[in-house]
Amino acid sequence: MDSGPVPRRGRPPVSDEQRRRQRLDISRHAVRLFAEQGVAATSGEQIARAAGVSERTLWRYFPGKESCVEPLLTRMIDAFRAVLHAWPAELSLAEHLRAAYQPVLDSSSAEDIDAVLAVVRMTHDEPALRAAYLMLRERAEETFVEVLAERLGSSPDALDVRVQAAAISAVLKVAADDFARETAGRGITPDVLTGHREELAHALALVTSGLPDGGTSA
């Protein structure tokens, strides 16, 4: 006689949101340890212990300890992606950035912003972290291509679209490096954040001067 489905045993499956939150929490602990003692001196076991997870869980989420920085860095890159996707047709990108840009997506946490900037600073001395950082920026450039192609009414494969996307990506990298350097040892103040946003807007106005919009003046 069929008694119906067998009840599921063990832990319930982890939702995508739970997975995202756990990855981000691990990332925060990894960045703190990297900043305190360096990447080479930090083990996966230490990161897992600090985050309150097993090493098995850590390696299920990340292929290597250096990749633990990706969730935090992704928040910075996603912040600009969100701005691009919300870019009104009547405004230049520079004008839109001045009004809408935040350095880290959906974060009211100063600690998260500080952690992202700490990673950016460490990429200059830690080749493995730099590789992870540049890989994420390369992925983000694909989003820039999509948005710009729509803006220009052109193909994503068009040379002018890809050149503009590469120029925007380069501006973001240089601006992030400058922002990280300026905030080292003194944190983020409203004036520093305003200055960062203004410098980013001005630089992007220069490299996107050929895009159709409501004006590209800085």
Looking at residue 218, its pLDDT comes to 43
38 and 126 assigned to the same domain:
no
Domain match, 20 and 98 both: no
For residue 89, what is the domain's CATH number? 1.10.357.10
> How far is residue 146's CA from residue 195's CA, in Å, rounded to a whole number?
28
pLDDT band at 156 (very low <50, low <70, confident <90, very high): very high
CB 47 within 8 A of CB 68: yes
pTM of the model: 0.77
| pLDDT value, residue 33 | 95
- Please check whether residues 103 and 186 belong to one and the same domain: yes
User: Dihedral angle at the C-alpha atoms of 179, 147, 101, 19, nearest 10 degrees?
Assistant: -80
CATH number at residue 62: 1.10.10.60
Torsion of CA 132, 138, 144, 149, to 10 degrees: -160
**Are residues 90 and 197 located together in one domain of the fold?**
yes
Mean pLDDT of the 113-132 span: 89
Q: How many C-beta atoms lie closer than 10 Å to residue 56's C-beta?
A: 8
Give yes or no for a contact between 104 and 75, defined as CB atoms under 8 angstroms apart: yes
* Residue 213, in any domain of the structure: no
Neighbours of 177 (CB within 10 A): 15
Residues 63 and 77 in one domain: no
Provide, rounded to the nearest whole percent, the portion of the chain with pLDDT above 70: 87
Domain coverage including residue 30: 16-67
Q: Read off φ and ψ for residue 145, nearest 5 degrees.
A: -60, -45
60 and 93, same domain (yes or no): no
Do the domain assignments include residue 3? no
| Average pLDDT of the chain to the nearest whole number | 85
pLDDT in tens, 19-66: 999 999 999 999 999 999 999 999 999 999 999 999 999 999 999 999
The answer to whether residues 25 and 78 belong to one domain is no
For residue 217, tell me if it sits in a domain: no
33 and 112 both lie in a single domain: no
Query: Is the separation of the CB atoms in 154 and 161 below 8 Å?
Result: yes
118 and 197 share a domain? yes
- Does 8 fall in a domain? no
- 21-35, 103-117, 131-145, 172-186: which range is least confident on average? 103-117
- Whether residue 56 sits in one domain with residue 86: no
What's the pLDDT tens digit per position in 175-212?
889 988 888 877 777 888 888 888 888 898 888 776 65
Please check the confidence at residue 214 and state whether its pLDDT lies above 50: no
Structural domain contains residue 7: no
Q: How far apart are CA 25 and CA 205, in angstroms?
A: 36
Contact 39, 126 (CB under 8 A): yes
172 and 73 within one domain:
yes
Minimal CA–CA distance to 79: which of 202, 206, 1, 196?
Answer: 196
Confidence label for 114 from pLDDT (cuts 50, 70 and 90): confident
State both tokens at 69: 């920085």
In a domain, 10, yes or no: no
**Are residues 89 and 115 part of one domain?**
yes
Residue 139, pLDDT above cutoff 90: no
pLDDT band at 143 (very low <50, low <70, confident <90, very high): confident
Domain count, the chain: 2
